[in-house]
C-alpha cells in the first residue's frame, strides 16, 4: 500500500472522550461487549468518507454528549511506503527543485543523484504524514487544522500547514514560505522544517475536505508563489487522489440485503455493493466479461466449503438470478433457498475480489451466520490478503483474533462511566481481557497449535525454534517440570482441546520415565489421547537442538539472553569454542548415564549423581571405571539382595564403559556436540561469561 493508516487519535466524537488506536497493522480487530463502542470507530471513518467530497453537515449526535463546547478533533497518521517515496523523489519537478537545494547543502555531497534519494529514504524523511482535523461549530463540519510530515528515524517533523482558530472557526492558515526555504544551507533542515511562516486567509469550503486540499496544493505547486514547494505539493496530490478521489474507505455492514433478482442494466459500470444487494448482477457482469471468472470464484469458495458448493448465475426475463448447486445433487437452488452463512462468505469474497489493492475495508460482525471453523478460515483469508489492503474488524467472536501480534493488532473496547475506552492488547493481557468477556478458554483458539513442554527453558528454546523455522503461531505451555506431566495430562483442558478439535502435543526430553508417563493416567480415554499426542525427542535435553557453535550464535541473536551480541562476534565465538573444548575433554556424566541406560535394573538419577560426585577428582579413566564398578556393585547388592544373581560381571561392565568412551571420542572429533554435551551446561557457562563481560 502507498499509504497505510498507522495511528488514529479521537477527541470528543461519539462515545470517545480521548481514544488512541496506536500501532495499527494491516489486520485490526475491535472486540468488546455490546454497547461498549466498537462501532464508533467505524462511524468516524464513514464520516470521513462521506465528507471527503460532499458538503455534508455533521450532526450533533456525532459529538460526545452532543456538546458543541468541547474541542472535537481527529488525528490520522499514515505511513508512506519506501516505493512511494522513491517514486515521489524521482518526479521531474521534485528532483529539479531538490537539485538546487543539494548544491548549497553542507551536510551531504552537493549533487542530486540516486545516492541522494537513497540517503533521504534511509534517513526516514517524509516517512509519515499526519492530518489533524477539527470540528467547526459555525459550519457544523470538519476542517483541516494542521498537516505535519514526520521523519521517523531522525525524530523530526515539518509543519506543512497550520491553521489559526478564532471563535472555534478557521481564519488563517500558514504554509512554509519560499524565502525561508531559500535561506537554508542544510538538506536535513530543508526536509524537516519545523514551522510554517507564510500567512493566508482561510478560504473555507464547508466540510468538503477535498476542496480544502486543493487550495493548499495550488499554493504549493505554483512556482511563482511565495510558498512553492513541489515535493510537498506532489505528496498531497498523490494523497488526495489515493485517499479521497478513488474511494479509499469501504464498509461492509452487519446487515446485508441480498436480492436474487436484479434487472440487467449498466453492467459495464457495476461495482459490488457492500451489503450484497447487487451480488447477482455483479457475478453476471464478471461472467460476461471473463468466462473463467466464476470458475476461479468457485475454487476460492471451495476453500471454505471443500468441493461442496458451486455458484452460477443465469439470465431469466431480463433479470440476473444466482443459483447454487451442492455436491451430490443435480438441482440448482436459488440464493434465497440456501444458508445465509454461504451467502455471507460469498459476498465478502466477491467484494474483496474487486477491491483488492490499496483499500481500507471495515467489516462489521463478519461472524454472522458462520460457524466457528469457518470464522477462523475467513480470519486467515483476511490476514493472508492484508498485505495489499488494510482491514478493520468489529466482532463479538474470539475466532477473528490472532496471536500473531507482529502482523495484527487487537483493541479491547470497554465502556467506563459512559466513555468508550480503548486498550491495545499485548500477549500478556489477552487472557485477562478474555476473562472479562467470559471467554477464558477461548485464548487457545488464537493459535495454530498448542505444545506442552517440561520447563521454562524448554519454552524459551521452542519459542525461538518455531519463530525461525515455521510460519505458524503456537502456544507453548511450560508445565513446570516432568513430575507435573501426569497432573497436566489428567486435567479437563485436554478433553476440552480434543473435543474442540485443537491441535496439541506433549514434547518431552529423552529422560527416563518420559517414554511411558501416560501409563500413569487413571482415565483410560485420556491415557489413549495423551499417548497419541506425545513426542519423545531423540535428545536428553531440548537445549541440545542448538549445541553446535553456529546454532548457539543464532540462538543468542534471537533470544533475550544478552543485547547487542553481534558487535562481539569474535570474542563470543572464542568463548563458545573454549566451552566445547573444556566440556568435551571427557564428559564423565555422559558416559555414566549412557551406561546406566544399557543395564537393567538401572539406578536412580540420585544414585548416579552420588557416584559422579564421589569420584569427580579421579582423571585416570581405567581407575575411574574400576571405582564405578565397585560402587555399582554395592548399590546393586542393596537393590537386588533377594535375587540369586545380583553380582555384576566386571569384565562386561568395563567393556561397555570403554565402548561408550570410544563412541564419545568419535562424536567429539566429528563435532557432533549435540549428542554428547549437556546443552544446559553450555548455555549456563556462556550466559555467565557474557554477563561478566
Write the secondary structure of 16-58 as one string of H (helix), E (strand) and C (coil).
EEEEEECCCCCEEEEECCCCCCHHHHHHHHHHHHHHCCCCCCC
Task: Tally DSSP H helices, then E strands, for the chain.
Answer: 24, 22
For residue 95, which of 69, 113, 121 has the smallest C-alpha distance?
113
* Judgement on whether residues 234 and 255 belong to the same structural domain of the protein: no
* Judgement on whether residues 532 and 647 belong to the same structural domain of the protein: no
* Judgement on whether residues 68 and 215 belong to the same structural domain of the protein: yes
Per-residue pLDDT at 229? 80
Domain boundary among 245, 274, 301: 245
Question: In Å, what is the CA distance from 114 to each residue of 117, 120, 122?
Answer: 5, 10, 12
Per-residue pLDDT at 313? 84
* Judgement on whether residues 601 and 637 belong to the same structural domain of the protein: yes
* Judgement on whether residues 82 and 198 belong to the same structural domain of the protein: yes
Q: Is residue 303 domain-resident?
A: yes
* Judgement on whether residues 582 and 685 belong to the same structural domain of the protein: yes
Q: Is residue 119 domain-resident?
A: yes
The domain tally of the chain equals 4
Per-residue pLDDT at 16? 94
* Judgement on whether residues 216 and 147 belong to the same structural domain of the protein: yes
Q: Is residue 196 domain-resident?
A: yes
The pTM (predicted TM-score) of the whole model is: 0.68
* Judgement on whether residues 77 and 189 belong to the same structural domain of the protein: yes
* Judgement on whether residues 120 and 70 belong to the same structural domain of the protein: yes
Beta strand residue intervals within 101-155, DSSP E: 128-136, 141-151
Per-residue pLDDT at 421? 93
* 3-class secondary-structure state, position 177: coil
Per-residue pLDDT at 391? 96
* Judgement on whether residues 289 and 163 belong to the same structural domain of the protein: no
Per-residue pLDDT at 439? 62
Per-residue pLDDT at 307? 64
Q: Is residue 162 domain-resident?
A: yes
Q: Is residue 411 domain-resident?
A: no
Can you state the percent helix, strand and coil of the chain, rounding each to 5?
A: 45, 20, 35
Q: Is residue 521 domain-resident?
A: yes
Q: Is residue 554 domain-resident?
A: no
Domain boundary among 357, 391, 418: 357
Report mean pLDDT in 10-residue bins for the chain, 693 residues.
92 94 94 89 88 74 90 93 90 82 66 81 87 86 85 78 75 66 66 64 58 78 76 86 83 78 64 86 87 88 79 82 77 72 88 90 90 86 90 90 82 91 80 66 70 79 72 75 65 69 79 71 80 78 75 69 59 83 81 80 81 87 88 76 60 88 87 82 81 73
Per-residue pLDDT at 422? 94
* Judgement on whether residues 236 and 260 belong to the same structural domain of the protein: no
* Residue span of the structural domain in which 79 resides: 52-245
Q: Tell me phi and psi for residue 620, to 5 degrees.
A: -70, 115
* Judgement on whether residues 575 and 673 belong to the same structural domain of the protein: yes
Per-residue pLDDT at 647? 62
Q: Is residue 192 domain-resident?
A: yes
Domain boundary among 220, 245, 270: 245
Amino acid at each position: 500500500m502507498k499509504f497505510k493508516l498507522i495511528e488514529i487519535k479521537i477527541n470528543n466524537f461519539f462515545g470517545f472522550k480521548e481514544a488512541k488506536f496506536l500501532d495499527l497493522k494491516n489486520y485490526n480487530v475491535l472486540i468488546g461487549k455490546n454497547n461498549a463502542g466498537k462501532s464508533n470507530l467505524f462511524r468516524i471513518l464513514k464520516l470521513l468518507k462521506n465528507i471527503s467530497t460532499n458538503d455534508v453537515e455533521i450532526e450533533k449526535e456525532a459529538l460526545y454528549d452532543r456538546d458543541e463546547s468541547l474541542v472535537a478533533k481527529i488525528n490520522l497518521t499514515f505511513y508512506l511506503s519506501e516505493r512511494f517515496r522513491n517514486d515521489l523523489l524521482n518526479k521531474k519537478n521534485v528532483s529539479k527543485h531538490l537539485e538546487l537545494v543539494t548544491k548549497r547543502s553542507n551536510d551531504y555531497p552537493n549533487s542530486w543523484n540516486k545516492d541522494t534519494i537513497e540517503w533521504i529514504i534511509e534517513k526516514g524523511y517524509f516517512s509519515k504524514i499526519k492530518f489533524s482535523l477539527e470540528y467547526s461549530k459555525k459550519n457544523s463540519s470538519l476542517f483541516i487544522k494542521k498537516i505535519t510530515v514526520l521523519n521517523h528515524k531522525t525524530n523530526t517533523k515539518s509543519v506543512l500547514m497550520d491553521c489559526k482558530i478564532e471563535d472555534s472557526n478557521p481564519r488563517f492558515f500558514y504554509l512554509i514560505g519560499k524565502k525561508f526555504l531559500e535561506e537554508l544551507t542544510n538538506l536535513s533542515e530543508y526536509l524537516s522544517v519545523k514551522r510554517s511562516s507564510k500567512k493566508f486567509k482561510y478560504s473555507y469550503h464547508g466540510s468538503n475536505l477535498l476542496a480544502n486540499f486543493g487550495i493548499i496544493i495550488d499554493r504549493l505547486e505554483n512556482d511563482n508563489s511565495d510558498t512553492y514547494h513541489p515535493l510537498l505539493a506532489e505528496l498531497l496530490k498523490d494523497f488526495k487522489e489515493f485517499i479521497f478521489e478513488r474511494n479509499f474507505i469501504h464498509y461492509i455492514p452487519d446487515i446485508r440485503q441480498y436480492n436474487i433478482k436484479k434487472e440487467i442494466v449498466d453492467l459495464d459500470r457495476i461495482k459490488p455493493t457492500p451489503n450484497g444487494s447487487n451480488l447477482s448482477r455483479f457475478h453476471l457482469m464478471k461472467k460476461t466479461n471473463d468466462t473463467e471468472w466464476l470458475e476461479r470464484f468457485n475454487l476460492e469458495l471451495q476453500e471454505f466449503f471443500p468441493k461442496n458448493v458451486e455458484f452460477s448465475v443465469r439470465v431469466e426475463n431480463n433479470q440476473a438470478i444466482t443459483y447454487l448447486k451442492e455436491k451430490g445433487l443435480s438441482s440448482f437452488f436459488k440464493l434465497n433457498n440456501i444458508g445465509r452463512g454461504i451467502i455471507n462468505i460469498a459476498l465478502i469474497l466477491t467484494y474483496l475480489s474487486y477491491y483488492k489493492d490499496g483499500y481500507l475495508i471495515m467489516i462489521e460482525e463478519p461472524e454472522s451466520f458462520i460457524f466457528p471453523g469457518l470464522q477462523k478460515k475467513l480470519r486467515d483469508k483476511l490476514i493472508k490478503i492484508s498485505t495489499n489492503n488494510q482491514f478493520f474488524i468489529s466482532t463479538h467472536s474470539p475466532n477473528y483474533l490472532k496471536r500473531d501480534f507482529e502482523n495484527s493488532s487487537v483493541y479491547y473496547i470497554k465502556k467506563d462511566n459512559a466513555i468508550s475506552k480503548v486498550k491495545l492488547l499485548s500477549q500478556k493481557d489477552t487472557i485477562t481481557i478474555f476473562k472479562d468477556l467470559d471467554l477464558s478458554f477461548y485464548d487457545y483458539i488464537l493459535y495454530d497449535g498448542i505444545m506442552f513442554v517440561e520447563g521454562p527453558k524448554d519454552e524459551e528454546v521452542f519459542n525461538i525454534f518455531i519463530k525461525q523455522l515455521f510460519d505458524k503461531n503456537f502456544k507453548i505451555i511450560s508445565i513446570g517440570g516432568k513430575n507435573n506431566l501426569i497432573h497436566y495430562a489428567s486435567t479437563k483442558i485436554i478433553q476440552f482441546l480434543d473435543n474442540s478439535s485443537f491441535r496439541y502435543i506433549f514434547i518431552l526430553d529423552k529422560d527416563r520415565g518420559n517414554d511411558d508417563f501416560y501409563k500413569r493416567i487413571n482415565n483410560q480415554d485420556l491415557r489413549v489421547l495423551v499417548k497419541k499426542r506425545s513426542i519423545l525427542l531423540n535428545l536428553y535435553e531440548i537445549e541440545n537442538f542448538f549445541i553446535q557453535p553456529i546454532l548457539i550464535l543464532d540462538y543468542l541473536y534471537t533470544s533475550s539472553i544478552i543485547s547487542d551480541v553481534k558487535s562481539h562476534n569474535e570474542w563470543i565465538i572464542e568463548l563458545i569454542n573454549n566451552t566445547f573444548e573444556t566440556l568435551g575433554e571427557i564428559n564423565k556424566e555422559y558416559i555414566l548415564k549412557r551406561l546406566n541406560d544399557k543395564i537393567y535394573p538401572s539406578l536412580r538419577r540420585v544414585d548416579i549423581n552420588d557416584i559422579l560426585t564421589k569420584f569427580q577428582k579421579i582423571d585416570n579413566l581405567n581407575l575411574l571405571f574400576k571405582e564405578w564398578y565397585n560402587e555399582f556393585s554395592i548399590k546393586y547388592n542393596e537393590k537386588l539382595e533377594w535375587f540369586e544373581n545380583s553380582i555384576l560381571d566386571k569384565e562386561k561392565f568395563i567393556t561397555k564403559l570403554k565402548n561408550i568412551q570410544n563412541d564419545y571420542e568419535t562424536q567429539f572429533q566429528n563435532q557432533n556436540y549435540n549428542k554428547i554435551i549437556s546443552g544446559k551446561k553450555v548455555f549456563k557457562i556462556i550466559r555467565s561469561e557474557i554477563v561478566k563481560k
